[in-house]
Structure 1
Amino acid sequence: MNESQHVAPGAWSPLAVPMFRAMWLAILGSNIGTWMHDVAAAWMMAEATDSPLWVAAVQSATTLPVVFLALLAGALADIVDRRRYLLWTQAWMCGIAALLAALAWSGMLQPWSLLALTFALGCGAAMAMPAQAATTSELVSRDLLPPAVALSSISMNIARSVGPALGGVVVAQAGPPWAFAFNAVSFAGMLAVLWVWKRPPDAGRLPREHVGDALRAGLRYAAQATVFRAVLARAASFFFFASALPALLPTLVRRDLGGEAATYGALLGCIGVGALAGALLLPRLRARMDRDRMVLFACLLQAACIAATAALTDPTLLGAVMLLNGASWITVLSSFQIAAQTSVPQWVRARALSLYIVIFALGMGAGSLGWGALAQHASLRVALLAAAVATALAAVWALRFRLAAVESLDVAASAHWPQPVVAEEPEGERGPVLVTVEYRVDASDRDAFLDLMAQLGRSRRRDGAVQWNVLEDVASPGTHLEYFVVASWLEHLRQHDRVTGDERRLQEGIRALQAAGHVPVVRHFVGGPAVAAATRAHRDI
């Protein structure tokens, strides 16, 4: 982090940070290898079965593991050393890719074993994704985070430009085993970069959360995070329907167009080139229109591309459509990724990103199977046209979930709560803990106060409260008592570390509404064995 402090913010500035640059290049190589694997696996399955459902199942085998494992992976990525964790996941994927290459060379790779090993590779990717995404904020300073996230999208789409085309050429000229072997080498490159990364040890003063507690905390946060939920809703409304094109394209090329692996790879390369061009144009687009309108236009363009794919039979024209498809895809994907990254604080970022990844994978995996099944029982053209109409309708429906609110959030840790003042420090696991805050509000400010308290209640629940409410003293109108319950003393101490700049401003607004001369009074009550002395009131909120 320190080496990036003096780098001026800009679209390419994060690449001036040596460790980010090395990681970016390694991820680029790994993404190229993954695309080469996808081309080789899809083409092998198309040659072996000629079934749209089986070919679509290859994409599902890659993405569905994320649905089952990403939440666990996100919790682990937030509570363990991310460098060691990523070393293990990359070693797993390197081994699986090498096994795929060996079986393909020996002629022992059958449809079921291809699916099984692709699923195993997807499991490794699912376990690595949240940690890899959350690592970005460790490699660059906060002001460089937005361009760093955008560069990650550019890396993915450079790979999408090069990987499929390279994979198509390798499969056509040398065979699928060589594509699988390149993928194994790309994971070895990631291992090398992670090995030399000198990640600072975690400086947290509190013990690590247990995995189960971390999972519950992440889900609880997402349930109360309005803006982040909007990102998930928009993602869910897009990926399921937009998955039709990548899922059905291999069969369309081979069966309807009579093309070869090189043709399929070239069309995927066109998608990548369009995505790269779109990523470079995104800063200008963001300057001219708000995020929600930009995503709407991109979704409608995606729907038009899917419909055009159903209607066209000329590979050259399809290549032009794939360019537009790539540009619209990166506009949507980059907007969602940046919104997901910047709408949550650091302490829960990997878990939140894992939820986003689950939505992405579930949409792509289930959508691929669904559109593949429709294509098998009706036709490819019918499935693509149905997906195009559904994508457009979903884009209009999703307008109710606004992404623009992300831009006004301040989720940086504020550290404005002083540590509780106690007569004797309770044991960390002791609980439950009841925290009360007494307020006094004039009658003229009551409605404004209660509106702010409703927002504060969501904040308390996001940060760990299992119960929350605010009550008014019937004998003394204007005297309000807020209370919230957390599971243990240790969990309450974690609340102190989790409060953000937005929550600080919210609490300052509540303080400003207090009656003249009154300051909110805070008390802590701890369950379990009797304390040696009563917990003293203090003013930490």
Structure 2
Amino acid sequence: MSIRRLSSHPSFRAFSHPAYVKVWWGGLISTLGTWMELVALGIYVTETTGRAEWMGRITALAFLPSIVLVPLAGTLADRFDRRAYLAVCTLGQALIAGALAALAAMGQLTLTPLAILCVLHGCMSALTLPVFSAMTAVILPPEQLHSGLSLDLAQANLGRIFGPALAAIVLTRGGVAWAFLINTISFVAVLVALAWMGPVSRGSARPGEGLWSGVKRGLLAAREDVGIAAALGGTLGVAALISPFIALVPVLALRVLHGDAATASLLTTVQGVGAVTAAVLAGTLAERWGRGPLLERTLLLLGPVAAAYWLSPTVAFAGVSLFILGALYLLAVGGLRTLCQGRASAELQVRVSGLFNLVLNLGYSGGVWLQGALGDRLGLRAVTACAALLFFALALGVRVLLPGRLASLEARLPPPSA
């Protein structure tokens, strides 16, 4: 099916914009490499330490820099040409990935340099991701924003589908060094896409505005808009209580279900398939039910499905529940991100995108570390299932106490085009 025909479907309308298509494909290639590296890291750390807490620590180190740097990313990006800014950050990511590959190839990779490189990688990601997300809002008209942001998440999950499968092959035949090297090379695709996509609007920093003044302006805008504030609160809950399942897949596969690297790769792939399936259906579901009601229903289902996954008695049951969980997670994060971006003014979209990523990363890193640490002491199933049920209780409480609140907030966004 051609891109032109595909873009006529509600979920794929963003593909009607050539600049978006170029960035999307470049990002997909890079994402494949990233997921190869993530699987390799998860298996390396789990096999080296045998503890879920260490996987939580490494994940937290990768995301903790976002606490400081993500709020600055939007303000920094407003001071430079955004393509050049992203190119420099992408080059930095490639250099860090190359250092990881070199250490592994020389047999010098230990937990200490691994942790340092994860912190550096987290710094570059924190400076990059908000600008990429906001570029989607810049490239696309408002009525196609939901399509674009859903496709962005689908891109990440296509990497989740094929990246682990490639990782399993590479790890079997070449080891972790080759997985890290391929990830290093994959960043070239992003640089090529940025070169080919054409001009992008420059930032909108006010004359004489300092970095912290710019950050404060973004924070005030988020606090004063009830929709953005609600979306950020929902994102924190999802990130802290549900998202840790992403990093802890290898732990469940190896320690609880007594599988191997292939089992971990399979489960990671299944989650990606569920997410991509949801991305294909997201536009149709949003037009049928409305973006607000779709988000409400998704948040209510997330907790029970996540609990079912953590309590899975077999690999097959885990795979089915993880497929559904992957789909719901994409709809939830995509809906919350759309609510944030759709309500932000054009001037502050990068900064609001940064705040969204900050909340998501902070909740995720803290949730992974805490659930991993408690899981080592109290049992992984018990801790993670309880976290999922706590999220369900919170979502149900909001639904009962504030019926229709998300639907009314979402209604202020531009409706999808016919």
TM-score normalised by length of structure 2 = 0.90
Could you tell me how far 1:165 is from its partner in structure 2?
2.8
Aligned to 2:305: 305
- 2:180 counterpart letter in structure 1: F
Could you tell me how far 1:116 is from its partner in structure 2?
1.6
| More divergent stretch after superposition (126-135 vs 401-410) | 401-410
Could you tell me how far 1:10 is from its partner in structure 2?
4.3
Given the alignment, which residue of 402, 406, 416 partners 2:405? 402
Residues 65 and 123 in structure 2, CA contact (< 8 A), matched pair in contact too: yes
- 2:227 counterpart letter in structure 1: V
Percent identity between matched residues is 28
Could you say what secondary structure the match of 2:248 adopts?
helix
Change in Cα spacing, 1:367 to 1:191, as seen in structure 2 (3 Å) is: same
Q: Deviations over 1:190-215 (max 9, x none)?
A: 11222334315649797373322211
Change in Cα spacing, 1:259 to 1:201, as seen in structure 2 (3 Å) is: closer
Could you tell me how far 1:252 is from its partner in structure 2?
1.9
Could you say what secondary structure the match of 2:78 adopts?
helix
Change in Cα spacing, 1:104 to 1:298, as seen in structure 2 (3 Å) is: same
Change in Cα spacing, 1:381 to 1:10, as seen in structure 2 (3 Å) is: closer
- 2:99 counterpart letter in structure 1: L
Q: Higher relative contact order by CA 8 Å / sep ≥ 6: 1 or 2?
A: 2
Change in Cα spacing, 1:319 to 1:9, as seen in structure 2 (3 Å) is: closer
| More divergent stretch after superposition (367-376 vs 154-163) | 154-163
Could you say what secondary structure the match of 1:301 adopts?
helix
- 2:221 counterpart letter in structure 1: Y
Q: Which runs of 4+ in 1 moved over 6 A?
A: 203-206
Aligned to 2:158: 158
Aligned to 2:116: 116
Separation in 1, partners of 2:14, 2:290: 24
Change in Cα spacing, 1:229 to 1:38, as seen in structure 2 (3 Å) is: same
Higher strand fraction: Structure 1 or Structure 2? 1
- Residues 304-343 of structure 1 aligned to structure 2 (within 5 Å): 304-343=304-343
Change in Cα spacing, 1:198 to 1:207, as seen in structure 2 (3 Å) is: farther
Separation in 2, partners of 1:332, 1:201: 29
Aligned to 1:78: 78
Change in Cα spacing, 1:105 to 1:209, as seen in structure 2 (3 Å) is: same
Change in Cα spacing, 1:369 to 1:93, as seen in structure 2 (3 Å) is: same
Separation in 2, partners of 1:51, 1:342: 41
Residues 291 and 410 in structure 2, CA contact (< 8 A), matched pair in contact too: no
Separation in 1, partners of 2:266, 2:413: 43
Aligned to 1:99: 99
Could you tell me how far 1:143 is from its partner in structure 2?
4.1
Q: Which runs of 5+ in 1 are unaligned?
A: 412-541
Aligned to 1:374: 374
Q: Deviations over 1:453-477 (max 9, x none)?
A: xxxxxxxxxxxxxxxxxxxxxxxxx
Aligned to 1:62: 62
Separation in 1, partners of 2:320, 2:205: 55
Q: Deviations over 1:513-539 (max 9, x none)?
A: xxxxxxxxxxxxxxxxxxxxxxxxxxx
Higher helix fraction: Structure 1 or Structure 2? 2
| More divergent stretch after superposition (58-67 vs 317-326) | 58-67
Q: Deviations over 1:221-247 (max 9, x none)?
A: 112111111111111122110033223
Aligned to 2:233: 233
- Residues 426-441 of structure 1 aligned to structure 2 (within 5 Å): none
Indicate whether 1:265 and 2:265 are aligned: yes
Could you tell me how far 1:318 is from its partner in structure 2?
1.4
- 1:231 counterpart letter in structure 2: A
Aligned to 2:32: 32
Residues 171 and 178 in structure 2, CA contact (< 8 A), matched pair in contact too: yes
TM-score normalised by length of structure 1 = 0.70
Separation in 1, partners of 2:182, 2:65: 22
Change in Cα spacing, 1:224 to 1:201, as seen in structure 2 (3 Å) is: closer
Change in Cα spacing, 1:129 to 1:265, as seen in structure 2 (3 Å) is: same
| More divergent stretch after superposition (167-176 vs 225-234) | 167-176
Residues 292 and 409 in structure 2, CA contact (< 8 A), matched pair in contact too: no
Separation in 2, partners of 1:181, 1:154: 24
Could you say what secondary structure the match of 1:403 adopts?
helix
Separation in 2, partners of 1:281, 1:137: 21
Residues 160 and 272 in structure 1, CA contact (< 8 A), matched pair in contact too: yes
Separation in 1, partners of 2:360, 2:99: 28
Separation in 1, partners of 2:290, 2:201: 39
Q: Deviations over 1:347-395 (max 9, x none)?
A: 0001011111111001100000110111111111211221222121122
| More divergent stretch after superposition (133-142 vs 45-54) | 133-142
* Alpha-carbon RMSD: 2.4
Q: Deviations over 1:15-48 (max 9, x none)?
A: 2322211111011112222211111111100111
Residues 244 and 367 in structure 1, CA contact (< 8 A), matched pair in contact too: yes
Separation in 2, partners of 1:314, 1:8: 41
Separation in 2, partners of 1:407, 1:299: 14
Could you say what secondary structure the match of 2:108 adopts?
coil
Q: Deviations over 1:270-305 (max 9, x none)?
A: 000011111212233223434444334323433223
Could you say what secondary structure the match of 1:11 adopts?
helix
Q: Which runs of 5+ in 2 are unaligned?
A: none
Aligned to 1:386: 386
Residues 298 and 328 in structure 2, CA contact (< 8 A), matched pair in contact too: yes
Q: How many residues align?
A: 406
Q: Deviations over 1:406-462 (max 9, x none)?
A: 444379xxxxxxxxxxxxxxxxxxxxxxxxxxxxxxxxxxxxxxxxxxxxxxxxxxx
Aligned to 1:359: 359
Q: Deviations over 1:164-194 (max 9, x none)?
A: 3322332233211111112111212111222
Change in Cα spacing, 1:207 to 1:57, as seen in structure 2 (3 Å) is: same
Change in Cα spacing, 1:248 to 1:198, as seen in structure 2 (3 Å) is: closer
Separation in 2, partners of 1:167, 1:259: 16
Aligned to 2:182: 182
